[in-house]
């Protein structure tokens, strides 16, 4: 039998380039597509990597030619500070990407599509306390996401389900809850909390202070990338076609996560609390349905995942420092 041909969009991003590596190990022929190359891995990990702006219809048509399945991760996104302050670009870019990709999959007879949605679709009124009740998939309606990014994700869920209903496009949808790990953005303004705190701690000297937004008591659950990839793969190969939470149901405060990272670093650090966008007060995943449908739960502990992430970021910072020294020496 010939290999199934798979397209991964957003292949230059965090989850996308990890997914390429995962699928190649499973024996698939994989095409990557993105507006940028991966920052921390080689595009040659894919059988083919197309540098394309997927906001343009013709590029989505090119990307989906001869493809059996699509893993759709392409999005303009970042941490809370980014999605709070860059609303119009996020809404426009992501809506264009998903509208064009849905239509291209129909035109090119793609059989099945995985769409990466987000826990940001859940209503703000259910996330006002740090000790939040875990969010079930049915909690998404009545809708009231707290960000434009969340509204666009909810719109795109409906968009893809409409293509499933009208055109037979088989859909698999996951709502991610804070996926983290090595080989992801850790500086520059688009980084998320685990990577940002790891970078600050790795850069700090003993007794320094790191900066957190808010009071640090806001709560989240965090899922390590390797667990996420397994969940995605199981969902894509299942018969379940409704949105499904993929994440962890271990609720921790940002302060607690910071303590874990400081312990990993073996540094004694203070904290400076600053005003800024911090999102909802609490968010956690109810994995009841995921366990039932996929027989899946995350296996890698928060401590182990943060340890791997911290040491990778620490090494990256040391590489950058070494390069700067060499440039200075030759200047």
pLDDT tens, residue by residue, 65-94: 999 999 999 999 999 889 999 999 999 999
Q: Which CATH superfamily hosts domain 5-180+223-246? A: NAD(P)-binding Rossmann-like Domain (3.40.50.720)
Work out the pLDDT band at 1, boundaries 50, 70, 90.
Answer: very low
Percent of the chain with pLDDT over 70: 97
What are 277-328's pLDDT values in tens digits? 989 999 999 999 999 999 999 999 999 999 999 999 999 999 988 776 667 6
Q: What is the per-residue pLDDT for 3?
A: 82
Grouping H, G, I as helix, E, B as strand and the rest as coil, residue 33 is: strand
Output the six-digit token pair for 154: 């909810």
Per annotation, catalytic residue among 122, 149, 163, 186: 149
Instruction: Pick the range with the lowest mean pLDDT from 174-188, 232-246, 317-331.
Output: 317-331
| 149 labelled catalytic | yes
Q: What is the per-residue pLDDT for 322?
A: 74
What are 95-128's pLDDT values in tens digits? 999 999 999 999 999 999 999 999 999 999 999 9
Looking at the predicted structure, is the pLDDT value of residue 262 above 60? yes
Mean of the pLDDT values across residues 153-169? 98
Break the chain into its structural domains and give their ranges: 5-180+223-246
DSSP-derived letter for residue 169 is -
Output the six-digit token pair for 285: 């995943």
Q: Residue 182 in contact with residue 202, Cβ under 8 Å?
A: no
What are 192-205's pLDDT values in tens digits? 999 999 999 999 99
Q: What is the per-residue pLDDT for 326?
A: 67
Q: Centre a 10 Å sphere on the Cβ of residue 133 and count the other Cβ atoms it contains.
A: 12
Looking at the predicted structure, is the pLDDT value of residue 167 above 70? yes
What's the CA gap between 243 and 173, in Å, rounded? 5
What's the CA gap between 94 and 220, in Å, rounded? 24
Work out the pLDDT band at 6, boundaries 50, 70, 90.
Answer: very high
Q: Mean of the per-residue pLDDT values for the chain?
A: 96
Angle at CA 47, nearest 5°, toward 43 and 50? 55
């Amino acid at each position: 039998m010939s290999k199934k041909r798979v397209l991964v969009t957003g292949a230059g991003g965090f989850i996308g380039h990890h997914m390429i590596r995962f699928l190649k190990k499973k024996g698939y022929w994989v095409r990557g597509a993105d507006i940028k190359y991966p920052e921390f891995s080689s595009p040659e990990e894919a059988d083919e990597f197309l540098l394309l702006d997927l906001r343009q219809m013709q590029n989505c048509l090119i990307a989906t030619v001869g493809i059996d399945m699509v893993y759709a991760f392409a999005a303009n996104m970042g941490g809370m500070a980014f999605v709070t302050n860059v609303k119009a670009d996020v809404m426009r870019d992501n809506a264009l990407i998903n509208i064009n990709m849905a239509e291209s999959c129909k035109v090119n007879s793609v059989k099945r599509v995985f769409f990466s949605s987000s826990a940001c679709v859940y209503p703000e009124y259910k996330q006002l306390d740090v000790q939040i009740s875990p969010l079930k998939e049915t909690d998404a309606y009545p809708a009231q996401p707290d960000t434009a990014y969340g509204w666009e994700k909810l719109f795109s869920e409906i968009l893809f389900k409409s293509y499933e209903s009208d055109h037979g496009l088989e859909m698999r949808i996951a709502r991610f809850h804070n996926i983290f790990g090595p080989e992801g953005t850790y500086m520059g303004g688009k980084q998320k909390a685990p990577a940002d705190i790891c970078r600050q701690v790795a850069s700090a000297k003993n007794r320094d202070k790191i900066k957190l937004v808010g009071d640090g008591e806001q709560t989240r659950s965090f899922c390590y990338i390797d667990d996420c990839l397994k969940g995605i793969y199981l969902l894509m190969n299942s018969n379940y076609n409704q949105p499904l939470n993929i994440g962890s149901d271990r609720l921790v405060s940002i302060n607690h996560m910071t303590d874990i990272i400081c312990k990993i670093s073996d540094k004694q650090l203070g904290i400076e609390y600053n005003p800024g966008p911090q999102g909802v007060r609490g968010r956690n995943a109810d994995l009841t349905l995921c366990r039932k449908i996929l027989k899946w739960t995350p296996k890698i502990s928060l401590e182990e995942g943060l340890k791997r992430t911290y040491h990778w970021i620490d090494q990256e910072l040391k590489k950058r420092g070494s390069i700067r020294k060499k440039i200075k020496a030759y200047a």
